[in-house]
Amino acid sequence: MRRISIVSLLLLVMFTSCKKYLDINQTPNNPLNVPASTILPTATVAVAFANSNDLNRATSAIVQHIAGVANQTAAYDVYNLDGSFDNQWNFEIYNGAVNNLQILIDQNSANNPAYSGIAKLQLAYIISVAADIWGDVPYSQAGQGLKYEQPRFDKVQDIYQGNSGLNITSLFDLVKSGLADLTKTSTLKPGTDDIVYKGDLTKWTRMGNTLLLKLAIQLTNVNPTLAKSTISSVLTANTYINANNLDFEVPFGPSVGNQNAIYTFNTLNRPGDQMLSSRFLALERSLNDTVRLAKLFTKPNNVFTSYDNGSTAAAPTNANRSKYNTFFTGATGEAPIRLLTNAQVNFILAEAALVLGTTGDANAYYQAGIRAHMSKIGMTTAEIDNYFNTNPSVVTLSGTNDDKLKQIITQKYISLVGNGIEAFNDYRRTGYPVLALPLNAAGDNPNVIPTRLPYTPAELARNPNAPNPRPKTDVKLWWAK
């Protein structure tokens, strides 16, 4: 399998993105192009890295999968968020992913639409990440080099729904354009340079349709008509991620420079900064779900040892702390970063059937989601069956529709450990799971769990189109409950 080291990624990202801005000794009519087969894995790694690095740590602390013990994660845990995420905005999302994906689209749409199609799907994914975290963000003018040195901040509703007057393509239409590209004749097609699906465009089609499900469920509060029609169309086509081996996950490697961001931070760089949240541990115990929990977090000396969010008490010794288990890190950093999964799909479809009235049985999808996640993390069929047999009230939807929604989102929340961004989205959309403020909360408003992350200092300073003053972290996003 072809591997791209993080160091190589950084160099290539700098080369491919900054050349648009500098073009030293290059004329605009004679650009130096990088092959699509080089840019594609670089951009894909950038998407996964952005999802699993600092933005994941902050959102995982906010939703209380983990608790911060020291340094940045401890600050995130109590909502001291201002002044952070410059690298994530500038380097990981925009210079790392968006610029390179736009290059792939611009250079390959005409002759190599297999590449541009994959790029459009990943661009829609990473722009949705940015818009869901910050709100209004550069989208329609992003990745255009000198054409838009200070790109416009598009409104979240325009990013999702489009705005023809402002020449903004909706994320839904961007995905559909990518799916259409995948069906066209392509001079060059990806192979091993496609580190996710090895050039299998039918699997990319499933990824794209699954992305439509993710985007649609985000709009249940603000545009249920679009949400329902989109999900219904995907169900009718019946080409989406429906098995664990089809998950959209980005592989990493065990060698230095190739390891995933979760391993690098938690094992190599900052092993003392975060651990299992006492609140998540309490939830899992209340659900009799500690067999699964042991697949998610370590259990030193056969004991789960957690820490309360926002606590200032002395933390347990590092060796005794429950931390992310090898499902997220691998033995030496080789675990993939999982972005869209079969379990996630089933929970989306369960919610859609319950709330929007799409086809299918909500309870069947709900149970399939639990089983898919338990299987994915390595529980045996016997362990899964035993859990279902001994916890019928947990695995069966009951009560009012709101009671059922709480069950669905709570189980989805458990399945999203390691993807704090997506769990943060669901919490703000639905109010579930029920979270309490951390101890010693601070930040913009210590009485409110953040509803967004603050814009980054560098972008506020350099781009006059950025909202100024920035919205406080208690200002809800357009699609939030």
pLDDT, one tens digit per residue, over 87-103 is 999 999 999 999 999 99
Is the Cβ–Cβ distance between 355 and 361 less than 8 Å?
A: no
- The total number of residues shown for the chain amounts to 481
| pLDDT of the residue at 29 | 45
Cis peptide before 433 (omega within 30 of 0): yes
Q: How far is the CA of 425 from the CAs of 176, 218, 435, in angstroms?
A: 23, 8, 14
Q: Is the pLDDT of residue 275 over 90?
A: yes
Q: Is the pLDDT of residue 1 over 70?
A: no
Q: Angle 240-381-331 (CA atoms, 0-180°, nearest 5)?
A: 80
Question: Across residues 344-355, what is the average pLDDT?
Answer: 98
What single-letter amino acid sits at 323? K
> In the CATH hierarchy, which fold is given to the domain comprising 6-257+335-462?
1.25.40
pLDDT, one tens digit per residue, over 24-77 is 445 454 446 899 999 999 999 999 999 999 999 999 999 999 999 999 999 999
- Domain boundaries, given as residue ranges, for the chain: 6-257+335-462
Q: Angle 192-124-251 (CA atoms, 0-180°, nearest 5)?
A: 35
| pLDDT of the residue at 32 | 62
Chain position carrying tokens 């933390």: 315
State in Å, rounded, how far the first CA of the chain is from the last one.
Answer: 43
pTM of the model: 0.93
At 145, is the pLDDT very low, low, confident or very high (cuts 50, 70, 90)?
confident
Is the Cβ–Cβ distance between 149 and 18 less than 8 Å?
A: no
Q: What is the mean pLDDT of the chain?
A: 94
| pLDDT of the residue at 253 | 96
| pLDDT of the residue at 31 | 47
Of residues 8 and 431, more confidence is placed in 431
Buried b (16+ CB within 10 A) or exposed e, 84-104: bbebbbebbbbbbbbbbbbbb
- Which residues, 6 or more positions from 460, have their beta carbon under 8 angstroms from its beta carbon? 466, 468, 470
The pair phi, psi for residue 68, each rounded to 5°, is: -80, 135
A 10 A CB-CB count for 52 gives: 30
pLDDT, one tens digit per residue, over 401-430 is 999 999 999 999 999 999 999 999 999 999
Question: Across residues 239-264, what is the average pLDDT?
Answer: 97
Question: What are the structure tokens assigned to 130, written together?
Answer: 């940015």
Question: Across residues 329-353, what is the average pLDDT?
Answer: 98
pLDDT, one tens digit per residue, over 424-472 is 999 999 999 999 999 999 999 999 999 999 999 999 999 999 999 999 9
User: What distance in Å separates the CA atoms of residue 52 and residue 135, rounded to the nearest whole number?
Assistant: 19
